[in-house]
Structure 1
Amino acid sequence: MAQLDVRQKLEILADAAKYDASCASSGTAKRNSRDGKGLGSTEGMGICHAYAPDGRCISLLKILLTNSCIFDCHYCINRKSSNVRRARFTAKEVVDLTIAFYKRNYIEGLFLSSGIIGSSNYTMEQIVEVARSLREDHHFRGYIHLKTIPDADPELVHQAGMFADRVSINVELPTEQGLTRLAPEKSAGRIETAMKEMKTAIVDTGDARKRFKSAPRFAPAGQSTQMIVGADAATDGDIVRKASSLYGKFGLRRVYYSAFSPIPDASAVLPLQRPPLMREHRLYQSDWLMRFYEFQPHEVVAAADDATGMLPLDIDPKLAWALKFRASFPVDVNRAPRELLLRVPGLGVKAVANIIASRRWRRLRLEDVARLTVSVAKVRPFIVAADWRPITLSDRAELKPLVTPKKQQLELFAA
């Protein structure tokens, strides 16, 4: 086989990395260069080809160290039995690429993952060496996100946290049964143990930095994980409960959801078609409800179909919950507490904060609410204002057409 040059390797390994959705750089703090000689110093908030809150587009070099792997996970295009073109970077090649891309203003950081080569420990050593060299040899102050390997020695995983802004440990699938069936070489117990150890290290170093300015930084942007959606029989209810459990037990910054995509030479145990992309979107919306809207997991699950456990695709989960529990409405915008206002379809977190602040000075009318929200048409059937009370619509079939987008809009969004 002909020897590949760095450009050819980059083409293969950048394409192989596209299946990992968890390359976010949100939540980190700026790494300052004391001597003024550091490279890539940045706030590091965003993901590949996404936008930071201040409008900046953040780009990360997102690659695999190698797409060769000793594991044979059914859902993975890089599995041992897959017929794909293989390539492998050396640690130095990744470092040189990162520095070269940064100096050309192409990127502000690195997302690095890898297949398992030789052993979990050997692979983790190579990943850590990339981050160490960037930080210590080249004084790189840009964002680094490392995908760690649960089976590796805990000390190696700990070293990854010392050099990276964020670390990821993928749970892969929402249920232990699914993981056993589709990735028999992986262990749910080992994955959760690694996540627990990472959480402990993050908390301990965070406490130390509050007391000692010289205490080392450790994964300041926290840890995240990813679940594959649609590769097994797990319902949306299963996924929501698993995500809530991960947030609670391990203090994760994000859980990412990746819709299963059929791969070449697929295993016979995998579905023939990918799930609707809208399903992935609804799970992200459900995740948002739990993280920012104070919804409990059982409330989000209650929005799903009782028979199938799946969230509706035609409307968002918050609206589905409101239509299912119509007796909780209407909500008086001049009296209701924050937790009830957050359950009103069409009211976001900022709109609720503005309503609470404004009603201290005057009784709000419907036109006042309209100025504070994006779509008063969606909000109107669920609220009471000083000059407004909705007509009695207790039937979902009656109410739904008034608050849902046109079918054409949904189809365009799904596309």
Structure 2
Amino acid sequence: MSESKTVSEVSIEELGTKSKQAAKTLRTASSSVKNDALLKMKESLQKNRDKILEANQKDVDNGISEGMSESLVDRLKLTEERLQGMENGLSQMISLVDPITRRDGSWINDIGLEISKVRVPLGVIGIIYEARPNVTVDASGLCLKAGNTVILRGGKEALNSNRAIVEVLQEGLAASELPKECIQLVTDPSRELAAEFMKANDYIDCLIPRGGAGLIQAVLKQATVPVIETGTGNCHLFVHESADFEMAKSILINSKTHRVSVCNSLETLLADKNLGDEKITELVQSLIDSGVTVHGDSYIQSLVPEVEEADEDDFHKEYLSMDIAVKVIDGCDEAVEHIEKYSTGHSETIAATDYETIQNFLNAVDSAAVYVNSSTRFTDGEMFGFGGEIGISTQKLHARGPMGLEALTSYKYVIQGSGHIRE
């Protein structure tokens, strides 16, 4: 029997049962025990870098041979620097305050009952994601710190990488006081098992998808387990006529080209017509000079002949590539209207110096992260000081924006009386 057949015999029921059992231990674990486990996980990553990189190279080679796009290969590929970033993330998580130790408030009611609102873990969290092996470490560490066990279901493109990483993390857990089943991996990449995973209400308390629009929509449509929706990133930059122009150009190029395969990369530029043709042309040309394919409206095309014609779909797209949609608009109100229509609610930024315009933009734009004179690339759990992230939520219930520790908790009320009875 092949290895894949053997591992596929581990059912969702078995994984779920082990996760729920481990969750009982984890939810009562002290901060010091959890931090020690995170430290052991980090040390295991450090010791086993070669093993992880070797497994990852198999996935990368397979992806290239199967015609995977450059942006997806970039998401999939691990390097010494990216492994160091994953280890640093675990270190940062250790230093963060344990949300489970926190009370959100307490009061005494008019009959003398002391009522407290306290943070508690969600329980067992399921993560469905694509070719992003760094998610394996981020999700595992954050879930554990917040007192949750996690069952991971990564994409088949990263199966070798994820298998190696989870084995290494479990090795670290085995050296701690927590069970290694706090972190588990679904190793059968079949759609049938994924569908079963999304309906495992008896075992999973919360499901979080991370990936492209297709994956997220599939989970939302199929899952019966409660889902926290992480969104696609059609992110916008509005360059107002008052902008520091050189700063605006720098923000534009960084937001678009720093790493095109991630959801906080810029996908649409809105240029204020009052900038004038010369400055608008310079913005577009700076993109072209940086290797970006510009899809523009007729105004942009009249200024720069190399620009490709943009249709309606271009303004809806999350390209995740060296492409961008560009439109000339008339002032802040029109920019806000455009964002309202086309944005996915992820991250938007304005380049401006006029105070009133900036405040109008901040108040009117309803996205998870709204920036002033800054690249959209900072919408990230590590950048926000969360020690990594479980995802970036574009919904409004429970969690929004980069989801750190608190987003992985709920709360309960603890009520203390002294023989109180209700009459």
Same fold per TM (> 0.5)? Answer: no
* Larger strand share, 1 or 2: 2
> Using CA pairs below 8 Å that are at least 6 residues apart, which structure has the higher relative contact order?
2
TM-score, structure 1 as length reference: 0.26
* Larger helix share, 1 or 2: 2
TM-score, structure 2 as length reference: 0.25
